[in-house]
Amino acid sequence: MNFLHLTPEEQALLDGAEGPGVQRAMEIVVTLGRIYGAGALVPIASAHISGVSYKNLGEAGLEFLRRWADEGARARVDAWLNPMGMEAARWRELGFSADFAEPQLAVIEAFRRMGLKPLLTCTPYLLPGHVPRRGQHLAWAESSAVAFANSVLGARTNREGGPSALAAAIVGRTADYGYHLDENRRATHVVEVSCPLRTVADFGALGRIVGRQVEGGVVYFADLARWLPPLPQDITRGGEAVDRLKTLGASLAAYGAVALFHIAGYTPEAADAGETLLRAEAQRLIVNSSDIETAYAAMNDAEVQDIDLVSIGCPHASLAEIAQVADFVRGWRLRTRLWVTTARHTREQAAAEGWVRIIEEAGGRVVADTCTVVAPLRALGIRSLATNAAKTACYAPSHSGVQVRFGTLEQCLQAALSGRWDG
Ligand code: F3S
Per-residue pLDDT tens for 31-67?
Answer: 999 999 999 999 999 999 999 999 889 999 999 999 9
- pLDDT the model gives residue 367: 96
Q: Which residue's alpha carbon is nearest to atom 7 within ligand 1? A: 373
pLDDT given at position 94? 86
> Which of 87, 392, 394 for a ligand 1 pocket mutation test, highest count of atoms within 8 Å of Cβ?
392
pLDDT of residue 275: 83
Closest ligand 1 atom number to CA of residue 313? 6
The pocket around ligand 1, CB under 6 angstroms, is made up of 82-83, 122, 144, 250, 314-316, 341, 371, 373-374, 391, 395
**Which segments in the chain show pLDDT lower than 70?**
1-2
* C-alpha 123 to ligand 1 mean position (Å): 9
Q: Please report the pLDDT score of residue 273 as a whole number.
A: 82
Whole-Å CA distances, 408 to 310, 312, 421: 12, 10, 12
φ, ψ dihedrals at 102, nearest 5°? -65, -50
226 Cβ neighbours under 8 A, 6+ residues apart: none
pLDDT at 210: 98
* Prediction pTM value: 0.97
Which pLDDT value is given to residue 56?
86
Pocket test for ligand 1, best of 247, 373, 388, 406 (most atoms within 8 A of CB): 373
Cα distances (angstroms) measured from residue 54 to each of 105, 305, 381, 382: 9, 31, 19, 19
Instruction: Show the DSSP H helices in 17-92 as ranges.
Output: 20-35, 54-70
Closest residue by CA, ligand 1 atom 2: 371
- What's the DSSP call for residue 398? I
Predicted pLDDT of residue 1: 57
Q: Residue 342, class by beta-carbon neighbours within 10 Å (0-12 exposed, 13-18 middle, 19+ buried)?
A: buried
Of all atoms in ligand 1, which is nearest to the CA of residue 145?
A: 5
Long-range own/partner contacts, residues 176-181 (CB < 8 A, 24 or more apart): 176/33, 176/38, 176/39, 176/40, 176/41, 176/42, 176/137, 177/33, 177/36, 177/37, 177/38, 178/36, 179/150, 179/259, 179/260, 180/42, 180/137, 180/156
